[in-house]
Amino acid sequence: MNRPKLLPWTTATVVALCAATPVLAGKVQVPAGCEGFLTVQMKGCGVSHYWRCDAAPDGTVWEVHYDKDGVFSLSVYDHDFQWLDSQYFSDGTREYLIEPGPDPASLTDLLDTGRDTYAFVIRESGPDGERDVVHQGVDALTGRSVTIDHLTLLETEFSSSAMDAQSGEELFSVSGNQYVLAEERLFFLGPDRFDQGGDIRENDLSPVMFIHPGETGFDEMTPQFECNASEEIGFRPSPAGPAKGEAQ
């Protein structure tokens, strides 16, 4: 596979988004020449908005994510949902692909064969300097589908680790489940177990509500679910699904 090439206007898009998005108002405005196609409310008090741009390579997708404090991150992925670039607004750090490695992430391989292994290098740049991190792991379809808000997603199981490229030290590992919306070629987080040097955390940032253009809440970036500790959200396997706006 050819080496992925970062779009020269990726960073400019980040700056434009910061300037154009009324964070306190909880609404999102995508850059000119781009069109939003999906907003996803998630467990864990998060919401993401996705868009594509006419001038970008086919299949390129941007995601802006908001948490309870406002805009959190902006990321861009290629047609195979290979992570290319992320900007984090709370501390000004950036993570971007510098080497696809011998085994780039491939949503195509996962959908075609049921399994995808990957190994690639991300450069982390921020106030504390720079370092290169090797991400490697495997995604596999479980054969199970899950219906969330009337959309059918494919469930995956995964395990991955991140390692300092210079020292070889493992920085963290994570395993669990994620979800694929095949028709839009998108991955979504699910329940997972994060291990950082023996400090283990259980997370679940699964999608709860999918909002399309023209539907109420499409450009609203205020998280709605699990922002209070007392909320409980459950799921059921397909084909049964909840009414629009209900969690499963």
DSSP 20: H
What is d(CA 148, CA 244) in angstroms, rounded to the nearest whole number?
9
Find the mean pLDDT for residues 189-205. 95
Return phi, psi of residue 77, to 5°: -130, 155
Q: Classify residue 196: in a domain, yes or no.
A: yes
Q: Classify residue 157: in a domain, yes or no.
A: yes
DSSP 27: B
Domains in the chain, number: 1
Q: Classify residue 146: in a domain, yes or no.
A: yes
Q: Classify residue 243: in a domain, yes or no.
A: no
Predicted local distance difference test score (pLDDT) of residue 29? 85
Find the mean pLDDT for residues 14-32. 57
**What is the domain-level CATH number for residue 230?**
2.40.360
Task: Record the pTM.
Answer: 0.82
What is the gyration radius of the CA atoms in the chain, in angstroms? Answer: 18
Query: Which of the two residues, 3 and 58, has the higher pLDDT score?
Result: 58
Q: With 60 as the cut, is the pLDDT of residue 152 above it?
A: yes
Percent of the chain residues topping a pLDDT of 70: 81
Q: Classify residue 26: in a domain, yes or no.
A: no
Burial class (CB in 10 A: 0-12, 13-18, 19+), 92: exposed
Q: With 60 as the cut, is the pLDDT of residue 89 above it?
A: yes
Return phi, psi of residue 99, to 5°: -140, 125
Segment among 45-54, 152-161, 205-214, 232-241 with least mean pLDDT:
232-241
Binning pLDDT at 50, 70 and 90, where does residue 26 land? low
Q: Classify residue 190: in a domain, yes or no.
A: yes
Predicted local distance difference test score (pLDDT) of residue 16? 46
Range of the domain at 74: 34-237
Q: Classify residue 21: in a domain, yes or no.
A: no
Q: With 90 as the cut, is the pLDDT of residue 143 above it?
A: yes
Pair of tokens at residue 183:
């028709």
Binning pLDDT at 50, 70 and 90, where does residue 28 land? confident
Find the mean pLDDT for residues 244-248. 39
Segment among 46-55, 117-126, 197-206, 222-231 with least mean pLDDT:
222-231
What is d(CA 102, CA 191) in angstroms, rounded to the nearest whole number?
28
Q: Classify residue 38: in a domain, yes or no.
A: yes
What is d(CA 134, CA 168) in angstroms, rounded to the nearest whole number?
9
User: Is the backbone peptide bond immediately before 239 cis, with ω within 30 degrees of 0?
Assistant: yes
Q: With 80 as the cut, is the pLDDT of residue 13 above it?
A: no
Q: With 90 as the cut, is the pLDDT of residue 238 above it?
A: no
Binning pLDDT at 50, 70 and 90, where does residue 90 land? confident
Long-range CB contacts (within 8 A, 24+) of 170-179: 171/133, 171/196, 172/196, 172/197, 176/203, 177/142, 178/139, 179/146, 179/148, 179/153, 179/154, 179/155, 179/206, 179/207
CB 53 within 8 A of CB 31: yes
What is d(CA 61, CA 79) in angstroms, rounded to the nearest whole number?
8
What is d(CA 84, CA 77) in angstroms, rounded to the nearest whole number?
5
For residue 18, give the H/E element and its range: helix 10-20
Percent of the chain residues topping a pLDDT of 90: 71
